[in-house]
Structure 1
Amino acid sequence: MSKAPINANGITKLIRSLPRYVQQAEHVQPVLCIADTDHKCAVDLISEWLPYAHTDRFLFRLAVSEAESWLLSDGEAFAAFLGVPVANLPRRPDDLPDAKREVLRLASRSRVRLIRQEVVSPFDSNKPGTGYNTHLCGFVRQHWRAPHAAAKSASLSRAVKRLAEFGAAHE
């Protein structure tokens, strides 16, 4: 059984919901949760957020340092989606101090008016607009090439490998 992704709307809500997701994995279906490390130690975050044992049907992965770095890692596809030159994308997205801000910077320079208007807030160019999640989720579903991006992102490479193992174990 496949369900639509859940956006917890922030790490605080996600952390509070983790026990419920673990229960869902134990009793209903396997669950994958992804969160950002925001430059904190992934091992420390996992032990803090998941201090209890959980089923092997629950997979928790952390993007270093933000999930946006995983999108930026597929430079050619993301540049085409945003309507910006591929040369403007960072070579090492995992090393960015703020990958979300880089996505917003690129989107604000897009040749695509809808990207500029909806991905970036019209009130503060450092904040996501109302269409930020919609457009980025659309990119992931339709254009993003995880294996290609994993070649430029060590944290994504580990996540892809672990997800393949997880999928094989729960077929």
Structure 2
Amino acid sequence: MLIAFNKPYGVLCQFTDRSLPPRPTLAGFGLPARIYPAGRLDFDSEGLLLLTDDGNLAHRLTDPRHKQPKTYWVQVEGEPGEAQLQVLRAGVVLNDGPTLPAQVERLPTPALWPRDPPIRMRKTIPDAWLALTLREGRNRQVRRMTAAVGLPTLRLVRVAIGAVGLEGLAPGQWRHVPET
């Protein structure tokens, strides 16, 4: 079984939380029993999360050797210049080593659901949207990459993993995905 879930902002990618006070988890969304996330999204990131009951499938989706493309729409603070985009395309050197090259392009402001709480906007600092596709998945990688080129991430939404996209799912909704 493979499930596509639109993880809302401020939800943990697990079914329990032992912290006090407890934070929202996947348990509150009526997902089928005995499935587990294939990968993660940070608490402050939104979008596509795949869940499965098949360990081999989870491995194929998440292991970096399989280089599954993951596409994100990233709202950044600042006006991206071609030099910054080229650095992202070539690969960025982070404190844990260089990243693989990424596909990146400017994106018109996408029609997304409102985020709660809303993004803090500054009148004097522009923002822009990028479509960024990675084939690896380090901890907070997109945020670290955009920050490294002087474009801090304001909002991060994963819209696709491989051929599976977020189409038609509002935050908190899920659907079964045919396995190929």
Shorter-chain TM band = 0.3 to 0.5
TM-score (norm 2): 0.31
TM-score (norm 1): 0.32
More helix as a share of residues: 1
More strand as a share of residues: 2
